[in-house]
Amino acid sequence: MTQRIIGPFSRVEGNLELRLQIKEDRVAEARVSSQMYRGFEQMLEGKKPIDALVITPRICGICSVSQSVAAARALADLTGAKPPPNGVLAANLVHACENLADLFTHFYLFFMPDFANPAYRNEAWYGRVAERFRAVSGSAAGDALSARAELLHLMGLLAGKWPHTLAIQPGGSTRSIDASERLRLLTVLRRFRAFLEKTTFGTSLESIVELSQQDQWHQLSEPETSDCGRFFALSRNLKLDQLGRGGNAFMSFGGHAFEGESLFAAGLYTDRWQPLEADAIAEDVSHSWMQASPPRHPREGATKPTGMDDNGYSWCKAPRLNGRVIEVGALARQSVNGNPLALDLLRSGGANVQSRILMRLWEMARLLLAMENWAELLVPGEPFFEAGLASPQDGEGVGMVEAARGSLGHWMRVRNGLIDRYQIIAPTTWNFSPRDADGQPGALEQALSNAPVRKQDDENPVAVQHIVRSFDPCMACTVH
């Protein structure tokens, strides 16, 4: 048995360190550690409730809008705010734009460059793949950056800027747009659709969202003409559907609702859909660098860091649902949503590197189609914002949303007009949690167990890198 400490871990957001016990050519045991702590929950105490809109997005520059939406929802829960239809649509567009940009950035800039890893240099496909996907200098990176920047023009229009907008508020959006701006919005979406259809998928978005079986998708996306096809070829060659097997409990807070209809359902999926029992969430700190405490629901939770002591190995807490380890993210979201393609993937190989990536790609198509629809529904001249909300004096508010990486929750308590308690559980907190008091490893820790370690890359096994990045971790959110 040998031990490897892996870090710094590039192309993930934030400071991640892995401790692997390796037995022969397999990972026997993994410990996942978040190596940064800032203390946002403490910073928020004593502030005015509305200031959460300024502070919480700055937890994370990669999913700052998701944090913003969660804070706005918590405030709306407190004040009873009801944004007008345009406000809901604008917030949906801004939020979906960030989710889409996240999924896209992850695929092109964070995940695919692993196939240019020199560990693969003897593979027949290496030259072509490295030329396309090498980090920074690969042809895909250049293409993707231009397309991404243009997609984010939507943020310039509807949110002022990205990241860290203040446009999304409990009463709706501060940015109303006129008829000509709405047309510009549609142009931005049209242009990004063209990139996705030509370069990413090699087929129409409509044909992607209608897929119900992975085999149909293989036939649609040719390996030579689309990046999705190139991924399929690599995945088949490297058996990514057998890598990074997760548990089988998936959660989604759902969302992107408009007029009573949610694009994505909330719930829990194990072998079937079940309603979400949000009261059964509790954060365990037994293996965190936090003051000892029994597991607590975030409504009652506290964040009290200690120094780095021997009891813990991460600044991350360990959230559990009814004591259960949960995986969140696009695959989880679509399983909960009853998506036939997600369920087909789960039946054939469960949660693994391939199924996680495929559902991210699928969601890109779904989100863009939804965004086109929302943009069509905007009515220039009608209000985007509900007026005259009182500042809350006392009470509790909850904001539960889906960020690209999975379920994000904000729990806020206000006393005498000031924030008295603010607890946040981010998606990667679920996926990258340390062990709990029962010794149950977190979702990534489970997925890493049994990962192959090839002799030539034993210092930093490439299979481990694929598995970690298949979750698209955001450590800045995780520990906040």
Partner 1 sequence: MANFNMLWLQSSGCGGCTMSLLCAESPPLFEQLSWQGINLLWHPALSEASGQEVQSLLSDLEQGRESLDLLCIEGAVAQGPDGTGDFSRLPGTGRSMMSWLQGLSTRANYVVAVGSCAAYGGVSAGGDNPSDATGAQYAGERLGGLLGEAFRSRGGLPVINISGCPIHPQWVLESLASLVRGEMTLQDLDELGRPRSYTDHLVHHGCPRNEYYEYKASAQQHSQQGCLMEHLGCIGTQAHADCNIRLWNGGGSCLRGGYACINCTAPEFENPGYGFLSTPKVAGIPIGLPTDMPKAWFVALSSLSKAAMPARLRENALSDHQLMAPKIYYKNKRR
Question: Which residues in 16-35 contact partner 1 (CB under 8 A)?
Answer: 16-17, 33, 35
Both structure tokens of 156: 């310039």
- Half-sphere exposure of 87 toward its Cβ, with a 13 Å CA cutoff? 21
The only residue of 69, 103, 157, 364 in contact with partner 1, by rule CB under 8 A: 157
How many chain residues touch partner 1 (CB under 8 A)? Answer: 97
The Cα–Cα gap between 18 and 30 comes to 7
Q: What radius of gyration do the chain's Cα atoms show?
A: 22
* Residue 60 binds to partner 1 (criterion: CB under 8 A): yes
User: 390: burial class by Cβ within 10 Å (0-12, 13-18, 19+)?
Assistant: exposed
* Residue 305 binds to partner 1 (criterion: CB under 8 A): yes
User: 11: burial class by Cβ within 10 Å (0-12, 13-18, 19+)?
Assistant: middle
Between 249 and 474, CB nearer to partner 1: 474
Beta strands 172-173; 281-284: pairing state:
unpaired
The residue range among 137-145, 204-212, 334-342, 367-375 that interacts with partner 1, by the rule CB under 8 A, is 137-145
The only residue of 26, 85, 123, 145 in contact with partner 1, by rule CB under 8 A: 145
User: 394: burial class by Cβ within 10 Å (0-12, 13-18, 19+)?
Assistant: exposed
Please name the residues in contact with 191: beta carbons below 8 A apart, sequence gap of 6 or more. 150, 151
| Minimal distance, residue 35 CB to partner 1, in Å | 4
* Residue 301 binds to partner 1 (criterion: CB under 8 A): no
* Residue 137 binds to partner 1 (criterion: CB under 8 A): yes
Closest CA to 64 of 404, 422, 365: 404
Between 105 and 203, CB nearer to partner 1: 105
Q: How far apart are the first and last CA of the chain?
A: 34
| Minimal distance, residue 222 CB to partner 1, in Å | 26
* Residue 159 binds to partner 1 (criterion: CB under 8 A): yes
The only residue of 21, 26, 29, 43 in contact with partner 1, by rule CB under 8 A: 43
- Half-sphere exposure of 117 toward its Cβ, with a 13 Å CA cutoff? 19
The residue range among 109-117, 205-213, 257-265, 318-326 that interacts with partner 1, by the rule CB under 8 A, is 109-117
The only residue of 39, 127, 323, 340 in contact with partner 1, by rule CB under 8 A: 39
Residues 214-243 that bind partner 1 (CB under 8 A): none
Between 124 and 387, CB nearer to partner 1: 387
Both structure tokens of 304: 């009290």
* Residue 165 binds to partner 1 (criterion: CB under 8 A): yes
Between 69 and 211, CB nearer to partner 1: 69
* Residue 182 binds to partner 1 (criterion: CB under 8 A): no
* Residue 312 binds to partner 1 (criterion: CB under 8 A): no
Residue window 424-463: x/- pattern of binding to partner 1, with contact defined by CB under 8 A = -----------------------------------xx---
* Residue 128 binds to partner 1 (criterion: CB under 8 A): no
The only residue of 28, 29, 58, 343 in contact with partner 1, by rule CB under 8 A: 58
DSSP 270-298: SSSEE---GGGEEEE-TTBSB-----B-T
Query: DSSP 3-state assignment of 401?
Result: strand
* Residue 369 binds to partner 1 (criterion: CB under 8 A): no
Sign of CA dihedral 290, 293, 297, 298: negative
Residues 370-399 that bind partner 1 (CB under 8 A): 380-381, 383-385, 387-388
Between 217 and 385, CB nearer to partner 1: 385
Both structure tokens of 162: 């990205």
The only residue of 27, 89, 155, 378 in contact with partner 1, by rule CB under 8 A: 155
Residues 183-212 that bind partner 1 (CB under 8 A): 188
DSSP 8-state class, residue 196: I
The Cα–Cα gap between 378 and 13 comes to 34
Beta strands 395-403; 273-274: pairing state:
unpaired
